[in-house]
Structure 1
Amino acid sequence: MDFLSLDPSVDPEISRNPQSRLVLNGTGSLVSRNCATNLQVKMDGFSLDTNHILFKSRLYSFLFVLVSFMECFVYIQTMQSMLFTSTHTASMLSVTMLAAIDVLVAMSHSLLGVFFLGLFSSLYFVSFHKFFLFSVIEMRMLFIIWRSYHPEINANNYLQYQKQLSCLFICLYMFIIITLISIYSQHNTSYYLIFLVYSFWVPQICRSLSLGHRPPLTIKQILWITGLKLFLPLYLFFCPYNMVRMFTTVPIPLGFGFKLVGWVIIQTALLIVQRVYNPYKILPPILRPKKYDYHAIPTTVYDVGLDSDCAICMNPIDYNNNESFMITPCNHAFHTDCLNKWMDVKLECPTCRTAIPDVRYI
């Protein structure tokens, strides 16, 4: 039997020691004239430096756990900022898609730990932190946003609304299972599902447009969340010596990686424009809705049912000076300075708690 060594490893760390990974190609034949048998044999194989593999797996798990800790810190800051602003302006679907990414990463690492027992501890360490991020942090965020969507919830109708929340999680788990199956079977549908789940800023952009409110996230939070979520795609698609390429023959198309990262960058740019300027800045002028005029002039105070005093500072309102007061869509009047300061904290009417458009867009 003839063994011929092939090209040395492309991994530069292993190439320094050619004997650490020997790639072999074997061909041969087994002939038996008495049994009239002619058996052709062809083998391909290679040896791996286990110490090097363990080092790379531990480095990978350390970096991924560090990313998970940073995500926890960013999400906690986001929840704290949402409690002081209008939580209902956040898109629940966007947070659900962000959570779906973490659950997909956790379950995929769990499955890889079963297939590659030598890397079980490193992969399950990553999986544990991702499950912790989902079950403790992101579930809490989802509940806070869902609760802000339904302020009318009380002890009598809580079960009815809880069924709606349960349906959302059922759909989330079904999507994750379908995506994992398509990835495992290497079906082309997996690319579309991954592209869909990484469109996580699109629902937030649409919600900001529909409500006329800025996104509740700061620019730093948007950039941090986007960068941390792109860590795994950047590693898989653009690191030529990653763990997947070493152990599997799964095709990793570089073109899809460029499209995925580019699409996420476009979403992030649009969301930042909405945050810096206004939600309608990304639309052409012809598609922008008509702006609400807070300084509409009433005929008389009593004809339109306006209060004579500002409900924020309790001082009288001068209706003779059009710039000194503002009237909300729910027909409540306030001093201009008072309502501007109020909108910096909440985009709700101080009197009836109805959502109001941001005066900064006018």
Structure 2
Amino acid sequence: MQQIDIDNHHLNFQLELQYARARQRQRRRNIILIVFAIMSIFYVFIQPNQYGNKQNQIQYSQTNGTNGAINITETNSTLLQIQKHFEILEKLLISQFQGKWTDTQLTSNELAEANFYKTSYQNRFQIQLHLKLIEGQFLEDYYNQFSFYLNSSQLVLPLEDNNFVFENVRGSYRRSSVYENDQSSLEIFANLTMRLNNINMDSDTQDDIGIELDVRYTLDSETFSFNCNLNIINIDSKAIIYSTIVSVLGVIQFISCLKLMKDFINENRMASQFSLIIFVFLMIYDGYLGIVHFFLALQSEYFLTPAFLELVLFFFLELKLAKHIWQERFINLQDNLNLRRELYRFHLKFYLLAIVVVLLLYYLIYYNVFLIAMNLYLLPQIIHVAYKGQYVEFDKIFVFGLLSTRLFIPIYYRGCPYNILHAQVSYLTVTIIILLFAAQVVLYYYQCKIGPRFFLPKWLRPKSHEYFIEQPIDGECAICISQLTEMPTESQLDNKFIAKIISQNQNKLMETPCGHHFHSICLTKWMNVKLNCPTCRSVLPPLI
């Protein structure tokens, strides 16, 4: 009796210790969430205006190190005019411009994009004009990238209001194609004429600025020219639409995760039927997107909502779903030391995989092949079901609520020519992503309806154990706690193929590889939930 009390006390102590650790982890997560909320509020309401403070103006380079640069007489009036002109250009920093462009053959093209940045050259600051001219309509056959570095030594006198003339501007040119490898950048020198319309120096917001740009440059002893008519793009209006759609999809994913978590706890769905790789990848992907949207919030606070939702999904829901699936694999592991060892291995593999995936996302996200491969969400689940050989139900919440909603972001950045990050448009990539995901859904649907290994040829399928026996055996079924000679009645099953197996072998008994006997109805239903012997907990091979 005393030994029993000691064991009960030890068990209660272990349970209290587990609850204390769980409360400690929950407190850490709450602290992280509070810190993130405080940082978000800080960046929204106390965001520094690094380009609008005129007291911190830095003089621009008076020389760009090129031969033939025009010298400007450094009188006070001239310097004031130069400073005023570059103050006007500073109003364009970080702004995005889009419009149309025309080349020397007067061929009108669909899209031209421009951005202004602050750069450094020879320890002095200058302004970089980045141009992207797109050729082609449907698949964006080619696009031309220009970068011009503007400083005061290139300005041509006399200076006119809102009119800039630059000569002998150092720059670079690169031509790219969807079907060909990108060419290396070539150094060019150009003359630029820039006219600004509807600019207001007294206002911090510039919503109606227009730019007329004429460029004449020399490449391989040939002279080319083009002109652009550009209008400013209000990033807030684009951010509102984008963040609203992403936030709605994030709420759908949030509800889907809660539904899956509830079903895991109530055992309406068994966690072992899902692939752990999918949820680990979704965790890493949502964490990466949350960080990206958080940095985009530095330009527009509307990105904070999707960033918040994605980080909540990462920290509070998908992490718990992955742990449920992991625990289901080691539920029969009684030794605490081995259980902790497996938990350490899981965390080590997770962090190593997170580092690899984040690096791949950072360096390869703009490659179409990687983007297509990244959206093969259902493939690990299809492989997992085929490997286990278990009949599973087609889960609409998992497929359409949790996975299909993630197609929006890659489709947006590859299908919208006016996307926020100015990513290269490729309708072919968008079409392949949609078709591949639809093919995965169809394959997974028929895998749930026909059988987990229906698409595998017989010579690739593993050898299955012959469970069904016909001779009567005395004893008791450990599942229904009734005699083996008494056959239980068949209940209505949602899975037609399991019902078919039971109807074909209703009057037979089943013998496991470990030598235990059960009713065919009982063990077939049991094996659809978990592949462990109900008596000794040893691993069972699938039925097929």
TM-score where L is the length of structure 2: 0.51
The partner residue of 1:283 within 449, 456, 471 is 456
Q: Identity over aligned residues, as a percent? A: 22
Secondary structure of the corresponding residue to residue 454 of structure 2: helix
Partner of 2:37: none
State the AA in 2 paired with 1:112: L
Partner of 1:78: 260
Question: 1:230 and 2:407 equivalent?
Answer: yes
What CA distance in whole angstroms lies between the structure 2 residues aligned with 1:100 and 1:332?
A: 43
1:210-253 residue CA offsets vs partner (Å, 9 max, x unmatched): 21113476244223323212121222223344333xxx3x3232
Q: Higher strand share goes to which structure?
A: 2
Q: Name the stretch that deviates more: 209-218 or 320-329.
A: 320-329
State the AA in 2 paired with 1:144: H
What CA distance in whole angstroms lies between the structure 2 residues aligned with 1:168 and 1:219?
A: 29
Shift of 1:349: 2.9
Shift of 1:57: 1.3
What CA distance in whole angstroms lies between the structure 2 residues aligned with 1:43 and 1:168?
A: 54
State the AA in 1 paired with 2:415: F
What CA distance in whole angstroms lies between the structure 2 residues aligned with 1:158 and 1:317?
A: 36
The 1:226–1:162 alpha-carbon spacing in structure 2 relative to 1, beyond 3 Å, is: closer
**Contact kept in structure 2, 1:318 and 1:325, CA below 8 Å:** no
The partner residue of 1:26 within 202, 208, 214 is 214
State the AA in 1 paired with 2:517: A
State the AA in 2 paired with 1:88: S
Shift of 1:254: 2.3
State the AA in 2 paired with 1:174: I
Secondary structure of the corresponding residue to residue 383 of structure 2: helix
Partner of 1:14: none
Shift of 1:140: 0.6
The 1:42–1:277 alpha-carbon spacing in structure 2 relative to 1, beyond 3 Å, is: closer
Partner of 2:521: 337
The partner residue of 2:484 within 317, 322, 327 is 317
The 1:237–1:108 alpha-carbon spacing in structure 2 relative to 1, beyond 3 Å, is: same
What CA distance in whole angstroms lies between the structure 2 residues aligned with 1:26 and 1:213?
A: 66
**Contact kept in structure 1, 2:468 and 2:511, CA below 8 Å:** yes
Secondary structure of the corresponding residue to residue 280 of structure 1: coil
Question: 1:171 and 2:352 equivalent?
Answer: yes
Indicate the structure (1 or 2) with the bigger Cα radius of gyration. 2
State the AA in 1 paired with 2:240: R
Shift of 1:70: 0.7
Q: Higher helix share goes to which structure?
A: 1
Shift of 1:67: 0.7
Q: Name the stretch that deviates more: 55-64 or 350-359.
A: 350-359
Question: 1:271 and 2:448 equivalent?
Answer: no
Secondary structure of the corresponding residue to residue 259 of structure 2: helix
Shift of 1:274: 1.5
Partner of 2:236: 54
Shift of 1:132: 0.8
List gaps (5 residues or longer) in structure 1.
12-18, 30-40, 302-306
What CA distance in whole angstroms lies between the structure 2 residues aligned with 1:325 and 1:181?
A: 56
Partner of 2:302: 122
The partner residue of 1:204 within 372, 381, 399 is 381
1:258-317 residue CA offsets vs partner (Å, 9 max, x unmatched): 22332222222222222122111122344333444331246x84xxxxx61111222221
**Contact kept in structure 1, 2:506 and 2:521, CA below 8 Å:** no
Q: Name the stretch that deviates more: 261-270 or 150-159.
A: 150-159
What CA distance in whole angstroms lies between the structure 2 residues aligned with 1:318 and 1:28?
A: 95
TM-score where L is the length of structure 1: 0.74
What CA distance in whole angstroms lies between the structure 1 residues aligned with 2:515 and 2:435?
A: 45
State the AA in 1 paired with 2:385: S
State the AA in 2 paired with 1:57: A
**Contact kept in structure 2, 1:108 and 1:180, CA below 8 Å:** no
What CA distance in whole angstroms lies between the structure 1 residues aligned with 2:256 and 2:528?
A: 22
Partner of 1:107: 291
Structure 1 residues 217-256: aligned runs within 5 Å: 218-244=395-421, 248=422, 250-256=423-429
**Contact kept in structure 1, 2:379 and 2:440, CA below 8 Å:** yes
Between the two structures, name the one with larger relative contact order (CA 8 Å, sep ≥ 6): 1
Q: Note the aligned Cα RMSD (angstroms).
A: 3.6
**Contact kept in structure 2, 1:324 and 1:335, CA below 8 Å:** yes
Partner of 2:317: 137
The 1:80–1:123 alpha-carbon spacing in structure 2 relative to 1, beyond 3 Å, is: same
What CA distance in whole angstroms lies between the structure 2 residues aligned with 1:225 and 1:60?
A: 19
The 1:324–1:153 alpha-carbon spacing in structure 2 relative to 1, beyond 3 Å, is: closer
Question: 1:148 and 2:328 equivalent?
Answer: yes
List gaps (5 residues or longer) in structure 2.
1-98, 102-107, 112-197, 199-207, 218-224, 488-504
